Structure 1
Amino acid sequence: MARHGAELLPELPQSLSRAFETYLNSLRFERGLSRNSIDAYARDLARYGTWLNGQGIGRLGEVARTHVEAFALHLLDENLAPRTRARALVAVRRFHGFALGEGLAATDPASEVSPPQEGLRLPKALSLDDVEAMLATTGGEEPAQVRAAALLELLYATGARISEAVGVDLDDVDLETSLVRLYGKGGKERIVPFGSHASTALGAWVSRIRPSMAAKARSSAPAGALFLNARGTRLSRQTAWQIVKDAGELAGLEAEVSPHTFRHSFATHLLEGGADIRVVQELLGHASVTTTQIYTKVSEETLREVYATSHPRAR
């Protein structure tokens, strides 16, 4: 059985490798993180382990606070994005805290090393006109267009993450009640409703196009996925991302659009329409309402922009 994330680690001294792999396994089996989250931790630890190895450090007991601080400076020298630097240092802090708690190390050299503070970055939401322009690009009868319409409508109707959308099975969708079962981070399940536009698009895909694509799959291929590729197997995250990007370009949008843009737009439009924040929290699958509250700031920002451009004495 493959160990999640371990294959992303470089060749390191055995002591370091075992400690990293033990931590990654705990993220999978004890915390129940998704494969994507574990891989992100593995990449950050790989960067850290490579740096430690270059300093001649082969055991956790040799790591001091000065080494962690030097690694933070190394991240600055690497000219990485601020968010990437912060995430890498958080991964290092959590790893050392775990190592101390599990008795893999006698001290935690990272406990007092703080990640850089990031300013609040408001997510960019599409306007309703932009969403409709993107959906209009999928109005044809070609199989790829019908599939694109179903995917985009589902993303905007439910606020699903792209990994959640491509992970949906046919049995997870009930077109009669307009409900879909999504599996979020850590395998957490939630039921999300969708509207008539998404229902029509999904119905067209499921009844008219998907059966012929499914017939192309080999007998050993899983047949339960909602979204399929031309070979009859589950649509990949990369291909789904490209479908969204292509729709944005065809719609003539200046900014690059990603699947997460649809998630931002879903939340922002609901809140601007008067939805209760805790309802939006449940729909998004956020563990805490504080995570959802960033979207209320988007709405406030929108109000400020409208006021600034519309009120005769705003300036």
Structure 2
Amino acid sequence: MTEGLQEALEGFRRHLRAERDVSPHTLRAYEGDLRDLCRYAVDVGVEGPAGLDVNVLRAWLAQQHAEGRSRATLARRTAAVRTFTAYLHRRGLIEKDPGQLLGTPKRHRDLPNVLGQDEAARLLDQMDVEGPLGLRDLAVLEVLYGTGVRVSELCGLDVDDIDVERGTARVLGKGNKERTVPVGEPATRAVGDWLRAGRPAIATEHSGPALFLGARGGRLHPTSARRIVHARIAEVGEVPDVSPHGLRHSAATHLLEGGADLRSVQEILGHASLQTTQIYTHVSPERLRQVHRQAHPRGAE
């Protein structure tokens, strides 16, 4: 990679960390995407940022498509390029921003597996909750399903974020946006049991305020939370294997089936756009038939 491109990448990385406050995951993804772009650019004779014109960008993306990259990957790489060229333009390193001329591939969203309401009840009612870790695991699954929070949001919860009396949780979501979500009685009861009889047995002087702890007393990591969900589902049996994201989607689906409106589900899930909620959630045919019978003039005779 040329010195000019290397310096541009380093400056962009500092910009993302200091000014955009992006997550470590996004930072790694963008950096990997743009290093790949710069290697391609050097191969076709580009020596510095000024050579990153729209033809080079489109040719690189076309190569990615030819190599079989998914639509989700192409969409992310296009977003990375557009953010990078916008930064270069603001810094005066390129005269025009070629990223504005790039289209954004439409992402294909695969809906995760979801549990039926009876399957969710079977999972949570039949779990082995013996010992501190059993109490923790039940609380983890109850909160994931009962609130619809993301697994990263769950692991970021502190003890004081759960208001057992009010039945609410204070959640820090994407972009450091805080929201308050309702927590049902089973989840608050499970959290209360964990705090009373489970967490004190695992906590150490280094546990800090974290609500959920790993076996060694540190804050529970999302990877560990995912393992807990899969393991507990396997133990119960006769329940489809889903991830924490599947529990989140199950919660949203069951809210809609119970009559919740999309705006309310949007607020609970922490989506910035209602369009995201519409894609993310789906309404069962039975729910659609019920709404039709109740609301349409010719829905029922």
TM range (shorter): 0.7 to 0.9
* Aligned equivalent of 1:238, options 209, 220, 223: 223
**C-alpha deviation, 1:196, in angstroms:** 1.0
Alignment partners' CA distance in 2, 1:86 and 1:253 = 37
1:182 and 2:171 matched? yes
Amino acid at match of 1:260: H
1:138, 1:146 within 8 Å by CA — same for their partners in 2?
no
The superposition leaves residues 213-249 of structure 1 with CA deviations (integer Å, 9 ceiling, x where unpaired) of 11xx3x4x24211111121111111101111122333
Structure 2 match to 1:196: 185
**C-alpha deviation, 1:206, in angstroms:** 0.8
Structure 2 match to 1:5: none
Structure 2 match to 1:68: 57
1:86, 1:116 within 8 Å by CA — same for their partners in 2?
yes
2:257, 2:284 within 8 Å by CA — same for their partners in 1?
no
1:31, 1:186 within 8 Å by CA — same for their partners in 2?
no
**C-alpha deviation, 1:178, in angstroms:** 1.9
1:290 and 2:278 matched? no
The superposition leaves residues 37-87 of structure 1 with CA deviations (integer Å, 9 ceiling, x where unpaired) of 333323322332343344453411112222112211221243332211222
Structure 1: unaligned runs, 5 residues or longer: 1-11, 307-315
* Aligned equivalent of 1:147, options 136, 150, 167: 136
The superposition leaves residues 161-206 of structure 1 with CA deviations (integer Å, 9 ceiling, x where unpaired) of 1111001111212222222111001111111121111011111111
Structure 1 match to 2:297: none
2:126, 2:236 within 8 Å by CA — same for their partners in 1?
yes
Count of aligned pairs between the two proteins: 290
Structure 2 match to 1:299: 283
* Aligned equivalent of 1:116, options 105, 109, 113: 105
Alignment partners' CA distance in 1, 2:171 and 2:227 = 21
Range 143-152 or range 109-118, more displaced: 109-118
How high is the TM-score relative to the length of structure 1? 0.82
Structure 2: unaligned runs, 5 residues or longer: 291-301
1:33, 1:185 within 8 Å by CA — same for their partners in 2?
no
Structure 2 match to 1:270: 255
| Two-structure CA RMSD over aligned residues (Å) | 2.6
CA distance 1:301–1:48, shift in 2 (3 Å): farther
How high is the sequence identity, in percent, across the aligned residues?
A: 39
SS in 1 for 2:101: coil
Structure 2 match to 1:212: 201
1:134, 1:250 within 8 Å by CA — same for their partners in 2?
no
* Aligned equivalent of 2:27, options 38, 52, 55: 38
Structure 2 match to 1:17: 6
Alignment partners' CA distance in 2, 1:185 and 1:246 = 27
**C-alpha deviation, 1:107, in angstroms:** 2.3
Structure 2 match to 1:228: 213
1:162, 1:237 within 8 Å by CA — same for their partners in 2?
yes
Structure 1 match to 2:15: 26
SS in 1 for 2:219: coil
Amino acid at match of 2:98: P
Structure 1 match to 2:298: none
1:34, 1:187 within 8 Å by CA — same for their partners in 2?
no
Alignment partners' CA distance in 2, 1:305 and 1:53 = 58
1:277, 1:293 within 8 Å by CA — same for their partners in 2?
yes
**C-alpha deviation, 1:120, in angstroms:** 5.4
CA distance 1:74–1:164, shift in 2 (3 Å): same
SS in 2 for 1:33: coil
**C-alpha deviation, 1:265, in angstroms:** 1.3
CA distance 1:56–1:192, shift in 2 (3 Å): same
CA distance 1:252–1:175, shift in 2 (3 Å): same
